[in-house]
Amino acid sequence: MAKSAETNPGAGSVESTLLRLYPDPAEPVALTGCYLQLGLHRFGTPQAPFVYANFLSSLDGRIALAASDGRPYLPRSLTNANDFRLFLELHCQADCLITHGSYLKELAAGRLGNILQVGLHAQGKQLPGWRSLQGLPDQPAVVIASASLDFPPPRAFLQPEQACYIATGQQARAERVAYWQDQGYPVLVAGTRREVEGGLLMDALGRLGYGRAYLIAGPGMLETMLRDGCLSRLFHTTTHQLLGGTDFRSLSPGPEYGRLGHLRLLSLHYDSSSPAGAGQCFAQFEPLK
Ligand SMILES: NC(=O)c1ccc[n+]([C@@H]2O[C@H](COP(=O)([O-])OP(=O)(O)OC[C@H]3O[C@@H](n4cnc5c(N)ncnc54)[C@H](OP(=O)(O)O)[C@@H]3O)[C@@H](O)[C@H]2O)c1
């Protein structure tokens, strides 16, 4: 999710050229269109869903730092326009976006920008037109995963006709489930505990006709999908900077993954220009089956 969802996700051009390093032979390619041409919007079916995620890390493995009160935040030097453009190219190919309750809190408080709709950001103004040309609905559906069910209402951040579901586990508080249902949000119960389980969530979304989900949540939902064998692709940007910071968040704060965490490289692009000349690499991986 929020990798580049800060309120101003970096200024700068998206007319950069990348060097594709893998697969070889190496060759220059335009940044714009680099991930659109993957054609992910043709991947996945309700019976065989395609789930993809995208994270941005520093060389020292930070996806966010934490302030003195413990609240995580995205340092300004981490995010940049080129990375955000590719984030948006992945975003516009989804038929549903999976986020979580914490993001709704940050969004409502104005600490993160709105990434629940396609076409809201300068780096992706033409992407609604691209969706239309592909025959996709105007906007992807939104799924909010939450065990607590304690977050602000999402409707103000969505288009009026945009579908929005809340996903939780069987042991979530019944009064909170009833609260959201009363507000008109369908609640998908997809897990035997309070948390959502990846396979059950994708089954529920499949029954609703969705087959391609972009995870714009954090490491918790990444883990949920990876451990359940539901993750199809991980897009990962390494920005060439050491962030430091003693309190930080990483991509995998949970227990060891072992072999589940082994990923095969599908593509690697080098961007020498951004951020501020240090550069970054955009990698695409698939979990080993
Ligand atoms: N650099 C990047 O690419 C990147 C990407 C993502 C996030 N970040 C940043 O990293 C920091 C931490 O991210 P985060 O807040 O997203 O952390 P997180 O620990 O992944 O998410 C926490 C919340 O997600 C919900 N959740 C997670 N797994 C769930 C499951 N299986 N079932 C139901 N709900 C589940 C829970 O919501 P409830 O509390 O509502 O139950 C939980 O409190 C933030 O600063 C964020 O902005 C950076």
In a domain, 2, yes or no: no
What's the structural domain count of the chain?
A: 1
Q: Which two tokens stand for residue 98?
A: 């999976």
Structure tokens belonging to residue 208: 């609703």
Q: Return the bridge partners of 53, or none.
A: 215, 234
Is the residue at 9 inside a domain?
no
Residue 155 within any structural domain of the chain: yes
The pTM is what?
0.95
Out of 7, 79, 99, 249, give the residue to mutate to test ligand 1, the one with the largest number of ligand atoms within 8 Å of its CB.
249
Strands 187-189 vs 17-22: parallel, antiparallel or unpaired = unpaired
- The model's confidence at residue 11, banded by pLDDT at 50, 70 and 90, is very low
Averaged confidence pLDDT in the chain: 93
What pLDDT is stored for residue 2 in this prediction?
A: 37
Give, using CA atoms, the residue closest to atom 39 of ligand 1. 148
Asked if residue 101 is part of any domain, the answer here is: yes
Looking at the predicted structure, is the pLDDT value of residue 20 above 90?
yes
pLDDT beyond 80 at 5? no
User: Does some domain include residue 60?
Assistant: yes
Q: What is the pLDDT of residues 134-155, one digit of tens each?
A: 999 999 999 999 999 999 999 9
Ligand 1 atom nearest to CA at 112: 47
Range of lowest pLDDT (3-7, 59-63, 118-122): 3-7
Full domain range(s) for residue 54 = 43-253+261-287
Task: Give 166 Cα–ligand 1 centroid separation in angstroms.
Answer: 15
For residue 121 the two structure tokens come to: 């950001």
In angstroms, rounded to a whole number, what is the distance separating the alpha carbons of residues 54 and 48?
A: 20
Given this model, what pLDDT does residue 14 score?
A: 66
Q: Is 269 in the pocket of ligand 1 (CB under 6 A)?
A: no
- Residue 128 resides in a domain: yes
Establish whether residue 236 lines the binding site of ligand 1, counting it when its CB lies within 6 angstroms of any ligand atom.
no
Could you report the per-residue pLDDT of 76-89, keeping only the tens digit for each?
Answer: 889 999 999 999 99
Tens digits of residue pLDDT in 49-71: 999 999 999 999 999 999 888 89
Q: Long-range pairs for 169-173 at CB < 8 Å and ≥24 separation?
A: 169/193, 169/194, 169/195, 169/196, 169/197, 172/146, 172/147, 172/148, 173/149
User: pLDDT tens across 228-268, in order?
Assistant: 999 999 999 999 999 999 999 999 999 999 999 999 999 99
The pLDDT value given to residue 274 = 87
CATH number at residue 167: 3.40.430.10
Angle between helices 198-207 and 219-227 (to 10 degrees): 90
Q: What is the pLDDT of residue 7?
A: 41
- CB of 109 closer than 8 Å to CB of 157: no
Quick check: is 212 in a domain?
Answer: yes
Q: Which of 122-131, 180-189, 195-204, 269-278 has the lowest mean pLDDT?
A: 269-278
CB 262 within 8 A of CB 289: no
% of the chain at pLDDT higher than 70: 95
User: Using CA positions, which residue lies closest to atom 17 of ligand 1?
Assistant: 218
Band of the pLDDT at 189, cuts 50, 70, 90?
A: very high
For range 204-229, the mean pLDDT: 97
Cβ of 13 below 6 Å from ligand 1: no
Q: What is the layout of strands, in order, in the sheet containing 72-73?
A: 72-73, 64-66, 248-249
CB 104 within 8 A of CB 110: no
- Cβ–ligand 1 distance for 218 under 6 Å, the answer yes
- Domain presence at residue 3: no
Q: Which segments of 79-165 does DSSP mark as H helices, in order?
A: 81-91, 101-108, 127-133
At 185 the pLDDT is 98
Supply angle C-alpha 239, 243, 247, rounded to 5.
130
